Amino acid sequence: MLVLGIETSCDECAAAIVQDGRTILSSIVATQIPLHERYQGVVPEVASRAHTEWIMGIVKRAFQEAGLQPSEIDAVAATAQPGLIGSLAVGLSFAKAFAWARGVPFKGINHMLAHLYAPRLAADIAYPFLGLLVSGGHTILCRADDFDDITVLGTTIDDAAGEAFDKVARHYGFGYPGGLVIDQLAERGDPDAYRFPMPFLHKGEHRYDVSYSGLKTAVIHHLEDYARAGTQPSPENICASFRKTAVDILLSRLWKAIRDTGITRIVAGGGVAANSYLRRQLMARKDLQVFFPPLALCGDNAAMVAGLAYHYFRRGDRDGWDLAPSSRVPDFKWRREQH
């Protein structure tokens, strides 16, 4: 089965053709980073306008690279939620129109489930596993019993992991987007140069939840301390110490979930899954089976959308032409663990 996938939930305009949920025949990702760089963040109106201008060319390139004609596609999928509503609408409308014109089924895909699927494009992974979904908009620790059977164990109570990287980088003027820049600087720094606080969970908060606002504030105040003292901080040391704490926050919850559930198969996904310290720490645990997406599939891409969609199509699932985009993840798709 040949599935055309489209992804326009944020600032990447992407199209891919994937065979049988596994073989990537083409995967085109056009990033809008240069358009948003001067604002140091994604501007929704700029994003949806660029998607509108680019989508046709990106899909054409996906066909060219795969050496296929539109008539050869068996089904079409696009990210339907969560994301920026105007950006989602571009890819979703394009995908529905394409599927309708070709008379093939169409399915709207959950972006976070697609991130969780990305490592499965490169490896066979059995269920159940613990999923660590870490991106610019989401931080989710979950248990996966099937591709669409997800129990959310913990989320962030404030900033997402990638958002914390981006905000710290913006405050220090390290560059945009922050995650990769901080990761690269951190490689040359001392992670023990500064001790930043781990979040303190308050009564009533869920035991697998994370929080990043305290860490972000501590790191930002650190710069002000330097300014008062009239000295310059070492960017490498700041980055290394921040990165270590930011990742250790995630890992502390993950280790706990492993102990509590006994599940030792771990799947990471989302832009922050590209983080080198996170990858090293997880790979060092020889008692775990750890799966990361290939670096090219950590960030937003359409191959993960087409790959996941195959499993819905295979069991006959499809959406109607009236499917609307949604900025949030609908609750019914996710079971929250009772505690």
Q: Which does 54 bind (CB under 5 to 8 A by kind): ligand KG4, Zn ion, none?
A: none
The residue (of 94 and 165) whose beta carbon lies closer to ligand KG4 is 165
Q: Which does 150 bind (CB under 5 to 8 A by kind): Zn ion, ligand KG4, none?
A: none
The residue (of 104 and 279) whose beta carbon lies closer to ligand KG4 is 279
Does the footprint of ligand KG4 cover residue 154 (CB under 6 A)?
Answer: no
Tokens of 333: 């798709």
d(CA 307, CA 56): 21
Does the footprint of ligand KG4 cover residue 180 (CB under 6 A)?
Answer: yes
Q: Which does 166 bind (CB under 5 to 8 A by kind): Zn ion, ligand KG4, none?
A: ligand KG4
Does the footprint of ligand KG4 cover residue 166 (CB under 6 A)?
Answer: yes
d(CA 339, CA 337): 6
Does the footprint of ligand KG4 cover residue 136 (CB under 6 A)?
Answer: yes
Q: What angle do CA 339, 158, 6 make, to 5 degrees?
A: 95
Tokens of 185: 């600087």
Helix, coil or strand: residue 156:
strand
Q: Which does 131 bind (CB under 5 to 8 A by kind): Zn ion, ligand KG4, none?
A: none
- Residue spans of alpha helices (H) in the chain: 33-36, 44-66, 85-102, 111-117, 161-172, 178-186, 213-229, 235-261, 276-283, 303-314
Does the footprint of ligand KG4 cover residue 325 (CB under 6 A)?
Answer: no
d(CA 245, CA 218): 11
Give the residue, chosen from 177, 189, 235, 325, that forms a contact with ligand KG4 under the rule CB under 6 A.
Answer: 177
Does the footprint of ligand KG4 cover residue 272 (CB under 6 A)?
Answer: yes
Tokens of 187: 């490689």
Residues that bind ligand KG4 (CB under 6 A): 10, 135-137, 162-163, 165-166, 177-180, 183, 270-272, 274-275, 299-300
